[in-house]
Amino acid sequence: MKVVGGFYGERMMHPAHDALYGSGLRAAAALSALCGGIEFFTYAAPGQEAELSAIGDTFGLRTSASQRSQPIEFYYLHGSVSPELIPDMRTIERCEPMPVTGDIVVRFGMLEGSGVVNADWAIFDPQTEVEPEPFHANGSVASHLALVLNEAEAFALSGAANLDDAAKVLMRLSPRTEVVVIKCDVRGALVCTKKRREWVRPYKTPSVFTLGSGDIFTAAFAFQWAVRQRSPVRAAEFASLATAFYCANQFLPLPTNVEELAKKQYQPLKPKGTPGQIYLAAPFFSLGERWVVEQLRDAFLTYGFRVFSPLHDVGVGAPKAVAPADLKGLRASSVVLACVDGMDPGTVFEVGYARARGIPVVALSTVPGRPEDLTMITGSDCVLVQDIASAVYQTAWILAERGK
């Protein structure tokens, strides 16, 4: 198998993360224990060749790098927000396309250049929703082609307004396309062939490290579909399990028994009806507190969920007016996400009120403190998480399985 894709710096503020991977290298590293003899093709800035070679040696990869003029880095505030690109996209110099020929080639879109693929089996993940190009646009060809892309990329590439229409357009967009897999974050992935459309659900994990999760899914799907010759749905189910294992453990390479391990540890999402409403319980009396509320609310709205936020839907006012309005919103909600850093009295009251009414609570605690401070939280079966992305996913999964 050959992999062509990005080799970039990655930093995240919370949870803390600082690494040199990128989509292509992470995918190649993930598969190195499952599929021997992987070759990785990429671009590297002056001085980065030695680091690439060392990482390649660690995972038993054969690496080949064309030169680019500058390092490229993605900076994330947390796992549920779009990253800042360093340097600005407008200043990144384009490189000559990179030809890659092989029986099986996994191609990721890159910022500074492009892999021109000639393969029997090809898997293409465009990696951008900003003017993405079809697989064949740069001269790439394949006898069997799978497109694996996220929802925003599918809409941008197809010009369609819904998933079914996007899949139909994408199936016709590049010659020899046999399967389209649209990754839909908390909802799972839609697997489409010319004869079949089927949802593959995510597996729920206690924590969710999102950075690179899509790369793992694409790589795992490619291994099962092109190497093992499994059906697209079976390949996507394996990819969902492998992604769950990575999100929970941040472990590379994927172990050879990753499917068995993940099935024992994690349960698939089982949606029930139409999702209800999320109640966002959090203090909003300082700039930092308001920032957290905005980040969480924006993440849920991006996924299309209904959110009741006391800050936005009630605001500040007299206690006799605010409290009844907040509690009415809470009673109408299916799940509560509570930010419990600092143990704000109003938030703690809302948690207790919700649990007394049997409403599930996800408690976000990002600052280490005394375990006894969380006794009533953990002792009343709240789901305790330590980062924003995990809070968003846990809340969304409870919402999906609870329904209205």
Q: What is the mean pLDDT of the chain?
A: 95
Over the stretch 374-388, which tens digit does the pLDDT of each residue have? 999 999 999 999 999
Best CA proximity match to 335, nearest among 397, 266, 384: 397
Q: What is the pLDDT of residue 266?
A: 97
pLDDT tens for 276-332 read 999 999 999 999 999 999 999 999 999 899 999 999 999 989 999 999 999 999 999
Q: Do residues 299 and 394 lie in contact, with contact meaning Cβ atoms separated by under 8 Å?
A: no
Q: Which band of pLDDT confidence, cut at 50, 70 and 90, is reported for residue 369?
A: confident
Structure tokens that stand for 56 in this block: 């390649």
Across 36-40, 254-258, 400-404, least confident range: 400-404
Q: What is the pLDDT of residues 118-139, one digit of tens each?
A: 999 999 999 999 999 999 999 9
Question: How confident is the model at residue 36, as a pLDDT?
Answer: 87
Give the gyration radius of the chain's Cα atoms: 22
Q: Are 255 and 261 in contact (CB under 8 A)?
A: yes
Q: What is the pLDDT of residues 2-61, one digit of tens each?
A: 999 999 999 999 999 999 999 999 999 999 999 989 999 999 999 999 999 999 999 999
Q: What are phi and psi of 71, to 5 degrees?
A: -65, 155
In the chain, % of residues over pLDDT 90: 94
8-state DSSP, 240: H
User: What is the pLDDT, as a whole number, of residue 372?
Assistant: 85
- Read off the DSSP letter of residue 88: -
The yes-or-no verdict on residue 79 having pLDDT over 90 is yes
Domain ranges of the chain: 2-265, 277-402
CA 214, CA 367: separation in Å to the nearest integer? 28
Q: Is the dihedral of CA 377, 383, 384, 387 positive or negative?
A: negative
Residue type, 108: F
> Is the per-residue pLDDT at 273 higher than 90?
no
- Asked if 232 and 179 count as a contact pair (C-beta separation under 8 A), the reply is yes
- Give yes or no for a contact between 104 and 225, defined as CB atoms under 8 angstroms apart: no
* 2-265 CATH: 3.40.1190.20
Return the CATH number of the domain spanning residue range 277-402: 3.40.50.450
**What are the helix (H) ranges across 98-197?**
151-158, 163-173
Quick: pLDDT tens for 138-173. Answer: 999 999 999 999 999 999 999 999 999 999 999 999
Instruction: Give the pLDDT confidence score for residue 370 in this predicted structure.
Output: 79
Q: Are strands 9-12 and 17-20 parallel, antiparallel or unpaired?
A: antiparallel
Whole-angstrom distance between the N-terminal and C-terminal Cα of the chain? 46
What whole-number distance in Å separates Cα of residue 399 and Cα of residue 47? Answer: 48
Distance (Å, whole) CA 108 – CA 149: 10
Instruction: Burial-class residue 83 by CB neighbours within 10 Å (0-12, 13-18, 19+).
Output: middle
Total residue count of the chain as it appears in this document = 404
pLDDT at 339 over 80: yes
**Model confidence, pTM:** 0.95
Strand partners for 144: 121
Cis peptide before 232 (omega within 30 of 0): no
What is the CA angle 232-274-170, rounded to 5?
35
| CA torsion angle 26 50 33 114 (round to 10) | 40
Q: CA 208, 213, 216, 218: dihedral to nearest 10 degrees?
A: 130
Token pair, residue 254, equals 């994927």
Maximum separation of any 2 CA atoms in the chain, in Å: 70
pLDDT over 70 percentage in the chain: 100
Could you give the 3-state DSSP secondary structure of residue 332?
coil
**Integer Cα distance of 62 and 219 in angstroms:** 17
Amino acid at 132: P
Any idea what the Cα angle at residue 243 is, between residues 239 and 249, rounded to 5°? 145
Residue 229 per-residue DSSP state? -
